[in-house]
Structure formats: structure tokens, C-alpha cells
Structure 1
Amino acid sequence: MTRLVSRRGLIGAATGLAASGAGTGAYAVVVEPRMRLEVARYALTPPRWTPGLKLRLAILADLHGREPNMGVRRIEQAMETAQSLSPDLILLLGDYAQRVEPQGAFLSFRQVITQLSRLKAPLGVHGILGNHEWWDDRAAQRAGKGPTEAHRLFAELGMSLLDNRAIRLTKDGKAFWLAGLGDQLAIKLGHKAGYGGVYRGADDLPGTMAQITDDAPVVMMAHEPDIFPRMPERVSLTLSGHTHGGQVRLFGWSPVVPSEYGNRYAYGHVVENDRHLIVSGGLGTVSAGLAPVRLGVPPEIVQVDLG
């Protein structure tokens, strides 16, 4: 049966769709990125994990400090949430801001990292740098090398920066290694078709692994998850950010993911060949490549219980 739709009916339907779209757009621009804050919880015992070693990690990634999405008060809220989880360690996975100096709505690296320096945990607060600590530091880009302003801030504030470093920690007499890589996209060299561009990384995976001197389990921080296929089996768990879960994620799929692997490492707990990766959806938003919205992937703190 053919059904004829009146002009009034068509106008009504179009108006309804427009209102629905406007409502979704308002939610994605205002509500989810500015008002929601989730805790994504994972519990696992990865391979090569020491029996009886129990660790709780609280992870903050991709703040991209800016008002109002992730301004001063929102960062305080994220910090309070992380502290409330009573973690053994707090890990910072990079992309703290997008400006060396504050500009308009954007916070500076100094503003954000100084705030984060107030975090406390029994086994310490440890960080790595992301691509924006490099990309938005014009002096480092011109020189083609670090240290960046973020490197200097971590040192000035007495914060632990695991930039191609591994440290041995213990809990209840049981040892483990915490390692962190330099950023994989540090220096911009040019552009190419498709995703991303041409970069020279500041990461040194072999050099970092060479610092591990016994068989205690290893937790690795790597800002971009794209290094995961090259991660040695020796690493029990890799922790990454960078993708923001695509910032728009529906039914487990994101239309835009800043990764050579697309949705393969966009978000969540990934297991490949008995190796484990957890990718945080992050806290902030960016407008380069991804629209400054969140839909289906609200800002999150990641809690990981190991053992």
C-alpha cells in the first residue's frame, strides 16, 4: 500500500528531526563534555603477574585544559574523583594542555601541571608526556628536540616523569616495574594523505625495556596506543590515552579515531596474543581533527585493579 504524506506532515517530520538533531548537538557540546564525569573500572590479572600482588591504579589522560570543558574547577573535580578511589598509584598519561602560555579559554601547561602536582598516592604520582606537550611548544618544534616546557615543569615541581624510564616499586614486599615512553609523534616533519602526518618520535622502547633488570611484572605507560603491536610480551599491561575514544562513539564504533589502526585501539580493554592494553577515553576535548564534542564517551577517570 502506498501512503501519501501531506506537506504539513513532511514539515512536522522535518521539524522533529531538526529538534532531535539540535538536542543531540546541545548534549554533545554542553552536557557530556562539561557536566558528566565517569569512572571506568577494570579488574584483571594479566599474564606474568606476581601472585598476591594487588594494585589499584587511577589514571588521568588527555585533560586538554580549557574553559569550560576542562577548566580549573573541572580539573579539581577530576582530581578529587581520582583521590576518592584510594589508589596505590596515580598515573598521568599526557596531553595536559595545548598552550605554553594561557590564551583565551585555553589553560597553559603551567596552570594544568601545577594543579596536578597536588595529587598524592602511596606509591607516587607518575606521568608521561603526550603529543600536545611537543606540538604546542614552538621552541621544541623549531629545535627538533626537547626539553619541552612540560619537561621543565615536571622537574621544577618535583614530579615523577617517566620519559623513556622504568622504575622498580614494591607493595607488600612484592616488586613490579612502572615504565613510561616518550611521545611517539613528538616532532612534526610533514604531512601525508590519510590519518596524521610524518613525525619523529621521542620514544625509546628498547632503551626503556633495557632498564628492567629482573622478572617482576611491568606496567607500561604509552600516550598513543599505536605502539601496542610492538610491545614485548614481557610487559604485563600497557596503558594509553590519545584517542579520546573518538569523542563520538556509538554502539562500540567511532567514526574518527586518531590512530593508524582506526577503531582497533580506540577505547577500552584490548587483548591480543595474551597481551593487555587499556585505552582511556580521556577527560578533555580537542578541535583539531576531532570536533570539540563528546557523545557516547563521557569524560572519565580510569580505575584499574590488578591482581
Structure 2
Amino acid sequence: MMTTIVLCILLGIIFLAYHTTYVQISTVKLAIPSIPPLTLVHLSDPHGRTRFWNGELHKLVNAHDPDIVIVTGDLTQHSGQLARVLNELAKVKSKDGIFFVPGNYEREGGRFHKKVYSDAVYRSQKEAWQQVMTVLENEGAVKEKDGSRIWIYGFDNSIYGNEQRPGQEIQQANLTIFLAHSPNIISLIHNEGLKADLLLTGHTHGGQIRLFNRTLGAYKHFHVGQKVDQFVGVFGISRGLGTSRLPIRLNCFPEITVYAINPS
């Protein structure tokens, strides 16, 4: 009897570990006229996790030979993990760069009792991010690709109220990508009538625990994955990579999203 109980507990632990640490690759094919074939990889919410059941993060990303990598916040659970996460991201091979917008865990750390970082700590961490990625805090970046112009604009909603609309829209862009940590940014986009081809966000973790394909608890009003939107073309919400509060996932695997635009 005792052996059976121990075996059941062990199988349960393995089951949860698999759901929590096995990364699924979600491939989304998009047709966008006037730009060359482009592979964009979206990462979000690692919360300090860089190694997974099926491999190291940089190897999982590099396998897709990305042109652009997007990271939408919450790199760590606490600041002590930052060096390890950035070392991992530095191994990512992205032809045209890695672009980052901060999340709420860039402003505060801890699993149950969060500590708000001082402005000095935040600035110090930002300097570290900039060694590896292009940081977009209510800023845009333009990339030229085979004669086409790609405009990437990052909203800073690491603190709600920080986000600002673009000061000047790039009218000549062949592809416009909006980034934000929280999908709540869609309200500002709709209210301001802003236009893009793609909006990438994270923050919700897909709920972390899903039953009958439904999110439990917070964020259940948001979709998981991609949704067509009249303002931003495709509105993507990543399930993310790590966990917050509860250190487990159930029926909500960690996710890397690969956007294959005009694949040959």
C-alpha cells in the first residue's frame, strides 16, 4: 500500500514537472505583403528559468535561425537571477537583434512578498539589459531588411500609467510591430486609434493552470495565443516560459512562439 502511494506521488511530481518545464514551440504563419521572408521569435516571462525539460533556452531559439527575437519582460523572479538570464540570452543568435520591453518584475522582485526596486537599482539593471538587447521604453527602433523597413515600438507598461503613444508614427514602414509586457495595452491602442501589423505581449502566463482549455483565476478575460484585431492585425499573448506565485503549470506548457512571416 505504502509503495503504491509513493509511486503515485512520484508520478504526480513528474507529471507536473513535465507540464511546468517542457517548452512547446507554437508556429504562426503570417502573410504580410511588401516584406521579405522573416522569422520572428517571441519570448516572454522567463522568471529566471533558462533550462527546460527539452533543452537550454538559447538552443531552443537558435534552432529556428531567427531574424528578430522579441522579449516582453519579466526576465527574473528576483535580481539575483539577472546575470544568469542575460548570459543565456547573450547566446541567442538573432540576425537583426533582440528587442526588449520591461515587465512588472523589472520593477519589483520576489515570489510572495515583492520588493520594489529603487530607481538606482532599476537603472543599473537597465544598463545590464542594454549589453545584450535593445531596450524599448516608449521608444521605437527601425530595421532595414532587404529594402523593407520594419518599425518596432515598445510600450513601457511595467508600471500601469507609464505607457505612452508613439510620438511620431513611421508612415513608410512595411511592417509595424508593437510590443508591451501586459496585454492591457490594447485599451490604449484602441482608444488612440493606433495601427500595427502585430502586437506581442505576455504577463498572463496563460493562467499557468488551465482546465477544460480555460484559464482559472486572473486574466481569464484575455485570450491565449493569437487573435485577429482590427487595429493591430494579429494580437499575440504568449504563455511565457516561467512561473510566478505558484511554481507549477498544468495544461499550460511554457511557450516559444515562432512567427514565420511570408515563409518561402
Superposition TM-score tier, normalisation by shorter sequence: 0.7 to 0.9
CA distance 1:111–1:219, shift in 2 (3 Å) = same
| Separation (CA, whole Å) in 1 of partners of 2:44 and 2:154 | 14
Q: After the TM superposition, list the runs of 4 or more consecutive aligned residues in structure 1 that deviate by more than 4 angstroms.
A: 21-25, 71-76, 137-143
CA distance 1:248–1:126, shift in 2 (3 Å) = same
Instruction: Note the residue ranges of structure 2 that are not aligned, 5 or more in a row.
Output: none
Displacement of 1:229: 3.1
Displacement of 1:303: 0.2
**Any idea what SS the aligned residue of 1:281 has?**
coil
Letter in 2 for 1:302: T
Letter in 2 for 1:181: F
| Separation (CA, whole Å) in 1 of partners of 2:76 and 2:41 | 20
CA distance 1:176–1:185, shift in 2 (3 Å) = closer
Q: 2:259: which partner in 1? A: 304
Displacement of 1:292: 1.7
TM-score of the two chains, using structure 2 as the length reference: 0.83
**Any idea what SS the aligned residue of 1:239 has?**
strand
Q: Indicate the structure (1 or 2) with the bigger Cα radius of gyration.
A: 1
Q: Which has the higher contact order (CA 8 A, sep 6+)?
A: 2
CA distance 1:28–1:278, shift in 2 (3 Å) = farther
Q: Percent identity?
A: 24
Displacement of 1:33: 1.1
TM-score of the two chains, using structure 1 as the length reference: 0.72
Displacement of 1:76: 6.4
Count the aligned residue pairs: 252
Displacement of 1:148: 3.9
| Separation (CA, whole Å) in 2 of partners of 1:61 and 1:75 | 18
Displacement of 1:214: 2.2
User: What RMSD, in angstroms, separates the aligned Cα atoms of the two structures?
Assistant: 3.1
Displacement of 1:88: 0.8
Displacement of 1:269: 0.5
Whether 2:183 is the aligned partner of 1:225: answer yes
CA distance 1:203–1:146, shift in 2 (3 Å) = farther
Q: 2:197: which partner in 1? A: 236
Displacement of 1:59: 1.4
Displacement of 1:222: 0.6
On the 8 A contact 1:90/1:126 being kept in 2, the answer is: yes
Instruction: Note the residue ranges of structure 1 that are not aligned, 5 or more in a row.
Output: 1-15, 102-107, 187-199
CA distance 1:254–1:178, shift in 2 (3 Å) = same
Q: 2:97: which partner in 1? A: 124
Structure number with higher helix proportion = 1
Structure number with higher strand proportion = 2
On the 8 A contact 2:195/2:231 being kept in 1, the answer is: no
On the 8 A contact 2:196/2:231 being kept in 1, the answer is: no
CA distance 1:230–1:113, shift in 2 (3 Å) = same
Letter in 2 for 1:132: Y
Q: 1:53: which partner in 2? A: 36
Q: 2:240: which partner in 1? A: 282
| Separation (CA, whole Å) in 2 of partners of 1:279 and 1:163 | 19
On the 8 A contact 1:64/1:95 being kept in 2, the answer is: yes
CA distance 1:27–1:229, shift in 2 (3 Å) = farther
Whether 2:256 is the aligned partner of 1:295: answer no
| Separation (CA, whole Å) in 2 of partners of 1:272 and 1:73 | 32
CA distance 1:149–1:251, shift in 2 (3 Å) = farther
